[in-house]
Structure 1
Amino acid sequence: MKDQLTVTSPAFENEAVIPIQYTGRGEDISPELHLSAINDNAKSLAIIMDDMGHPIPAYNHWVIWNIPVMEIIPQNIPYGPYIAEFNGAIQGRGYGRHRYRGPKPPFNWSHLYQFNVYALDCLLDLPSKSRKRDLLAAMQGHILQEGSLVGRFR
């Protein structure tokens, strides 16, 4: 059994409302994430953020991998497939773009958004055109830990 990775954010508590600046109705920037109890054997981190209330189950808003192991992932990760500030971490195609796309549910519906963070035992060799399903397949057998943070937005 894998040890639990603890994921929190100074922006919002688990299952609380995501502040507007982190949504498609605000600045649309990624929130700061704090990780604790990271496995000593971790070589990289990956994040998958999904809209759990979308008619398409677990509609993907963000995928990023090969993040260097760090306890604080800063907010406002830049747009683009390769993130120089993170030693070339790769943002795949979540929501059709190489970037974080924050919550923006239609018709004032309330949706849950889940940030899944994975500690991996390697760097992944995936092209930037990869999507969530490609990342999930590549991570098989390499996940040391996982943890999640859930936020709501309407």
Structure 2
Amino acid sequence: MKLWSDSFKDGGAIPGEFAFAVKDPATHVRLSSNRNPHLAWDDVPPGTESLVLLVIDGDVPSVGTDVNQEGKTVPASLPRVDFFHWSLIDIPLSRSSIAAGEFSSAVTPRGKPAQLPAPLRQGVNDYTGWFAGDKDMSGDYYGFDGPCPPWNDELVHHYFFRIYALDVPRLELKGRFTGQDVIEAIHGHILDEAQFIGTYTLR
């Protein structure tokens, strides 16, 4: 399989319009356009019955004590964990691309709704947990929400865009689900996969 984007090059920096936040000299960061990037795929293997798309930041600090704290930095040596930015499942074979901004445009406080045209389904991303204690932003963040790494992180974050060809037409997931739920559900059903990587920093 092949996966690519016209929005940025594999291994290159993700433009700010596809991020949750961009740099701001006065306040460190400000909210951005939060558009999903263009994505396209090809060479789907025979026997494929549906596709799954995941977007994962693999460089999120495992400890948040110093995140976005004045006078402190998040050291590059700190162990990192995954943060799911998007899980889109049950993608039909009739679809071979996603247009820029098709599924997300602007930050939606308390999160975007879950519903998509059938058969597409999307899970909650990890902003759901990040904003859980924020009275103005808390909610279920379905679908895509873009990069917003700590503005004081020494490490440039890497975002993995992955598409999976599956041997089932529909994943056995019901109701509200997470990216980790998708990882578990696709186990044993993957015929092929492809990925490309984008980078982003607010330093």
Q: Displacement of 1:18 after TM fit?
A: 0.6
Contact 1:80 1:91 in 2 (8 A): no
Number of aligned residue pairs: give it. 148
Residue 138 of structure 2 is aligned to residue 132 of structure 1: no
Q: Do residues 60 (structure 1) and 84 (structure 2) align? A: yes
CA 1:129–1:91 in structure 2 vs 1: closer, same or farther (change >3 Å)? Answer: same
Task: Tell me whether 1:89 sits opposite 2:120 in the alignment.
Answer: yes
Identity %: 26
Deviations 1:44-63 (A, max 9, x none): 11111111111141111111
Aligned residue identity for 1:58: D
Distance 1:82 1:116 in 2: 22
- Amino acid in structure 2 at the alignment position of 1:27: S
Unmatched runs of 5 consecutive residues or more in structure 2: 22-31, 63-80, 105-111, 129-140
Larger Rg: 2
Match of 1:60, as an amino acid?
F
Give the distance between the partners of 1:81 and 1:120, measured in 2 at CA: 22
Q: CA RMSD in A?
A: 1.5
Structure 1 residue aligned with 2:162: 116
Q: Write the deviation string for residues 38-95 of structure 1: whole angstroms up to 9, x where unpaired.
A: 11321111111111111141111111101112221222215432311xx231111112
Alpha-carbon spacing, 1:43–1:105, altered in 2? closer, same or farther (3 Å): same
Structure 2 match to 1:104 = 148
Q: Aligned letter for 1:94? A: N
CA contact (8 A) 1:116 1:147 kept: yes
Q: Which segments of structure 1 move beyond 2 Å, counting only runs of 4 or more? A: 73-76
Check the 8 A contact 1:24/1:102 in 2, yes or no.
yes
In the alignment, structure 1 segments of 5+ residues that lack a partner are none
Q: Is the 8 A contact 2:123 2:178 kept in 1?
A: yes
TM-score scaled by length of structure 1: 0.88
Report the TM-score, using the length of structure 2 for normalisation: 0.68
